[in-house]
Amino acid sequence: MKPLSPVGRLLVASAAAIAVMWLLGFLGSLAAGAGGLLSAADNSRTNPLSLLVTAIAMCVGGGIAGKHFIAVALGLMVLLWLGIVLVLLQMANPAQPNALAHILSYNGLQIALSMLAACAGAAVGAWLRMQRAARTA
């Protein structure tokens, strides 16, 4: 079997990361429910379990594709959060005049931390891939 091209490896890593994120997120929500939210000093909330799930999923992707997956992991999180914010905006727009400001103030901490978790997880996965390659060489 022919090895995957770098783009093919990134696509497989992206699909694997999304699948792991969905599966672990689903299992985590069954286990913890909505009780995993932590309040910050302002009006925002954060979910540590979701951040852990993000880091683990992106670590899987980084382990498959290597260091080039870090930018892809960040891009995946940007797309995910863009979709979430757009859906929330569509739900709140008729009722609230400045809904975007409220959505971003409530979710801003989780957005920033999930971006950080995605990049860190992908970097750890890429590092583990390099370690594995060095051991086999």
pLDDT in tens, 61-98: 999 999 999 999 999 999 999 999 999 998 887 777 88
pLDDT band at 129 (very low <50, low <70, confident <90, very high): very high
The sign of the torsion formed by the CA atoms of 15, 16, 19, 20 equals: negative
Among candidate residues 125, 136, 133, the one with its CA nearest the CA of residue 57: 125
pLDDT band at 38 (very low <50, low <70, confident <90, very high): low
Q: What is the DSSP letter of 39?
A: E
pLDDT at residue number 102: 87
Among candidate residues 50, 69, 49, the one with its CA nearest the CA of residue 128: 69
Amino acid at 55: A
The average confidence (pLDDT) of the chain is 89
What is the C-alpha to C-alpha distance for residues 121 and 53, in angstroms, rounded to an integer?
10
pLDDT in tens, 46-69: 888 899 999 999 999 999 999 999
pTM higher than the cut 0.95: no
What is the C-alpha to C-alpha distance for residues 5 and 62, in angstroms, rounded to an integer?
15
Q: What's the burial of 59, exposed, middle or buried (CB within 10 Å: 0-12/13-18/19+)?
A: buried
Q: Where are the domains of the chain?
A: 16-136
